[in-house]
Amino acid sequence: MNWDWIFQAANIWAMAAWGALLLLPRGPIIMSAIFYAAMGMLCLAYTVLLILLQGAWVDPGAQADAAFVSFTSLEGVRAIFASDAGVTLGWMHYLTFDLFVGIWISRDADAKGFSRWVQAPFLLLTLFFGPAGLLWWLALREKRARKGARRKMN
């Protein structure tokens, strides 16, 4: 299997989705396309590739290289990323979840009335640094979220 090609294709697909999220109007059609066509396809590709790899239907040698696979130790996680397949699947995992968080931030920001100019740095932080972007967004949104909750109570 050409893992380099898959890695590049996943990157291009995810970056196109991020570009749309940052630059295009957020109507229902575009948001659905980002959610289902972009993120959904990344999820599907990741899942299919994971099943094919775990079933040894592709790259049977990669299974032997990753004899010690464990998520409970540094050594075990290092073994997962010891092959091109492991790195590619791990990267697709990051791309997909960061995009999901970016979609959530954009919807949350739109609902709370934040301008696209205010949203952009948080979306870029999330794209490049994942949880750090989410943390900064949560800190910024907190005051408006509380204000919105108080209005609903009254």
pLDDT digits (tens, 9 = 90+) for 94-148: 999 999 999 999 999 999 999 999 999 999 999 999 999 999 999 999 887 777 6
Determine the Cα–Cα distance for residues 85 and 62; give it in Å rounded to an integer: 7
- Mean pLDDT across the stretch 73-77? 83
**According to the model, what pLDDT value does residue 76 have?**
80
CB-CB contact of 88 with 10 (8 Å): yes
pTM, whole model, 2 decimals? 0.85
Backbone angles phi, psi at 42, to 5 degrees: -60, -40
**Which band of pLDDT confidence, cut at 50, 70 and 90, is reported for residue 61?**
low
Query: Rounded to an integer, what distance in angstroms lies between the CA atom of residue 91 and that of residue 106?
Result: 22
Average pLDDT value for the chain: 88
Q: What would the two tokens of residue 36 be? A: 């289902």
- pLDDT higher than 70, residue 10: yes
Output the pLDDT for position 14.
97
Q: N- to C-terminal Cα distance for the chain? A: 59
CA–CA gap between residue 141 and residue 137 (Å, rounded)? 6
Above 80 in pLDDT, residue 65? no
Give φ, ψ of 81 to 5 degrees.
-90, 15
Give the residue-averaged pLDDT of 8-16: 97
pLDDT for position 78: 83
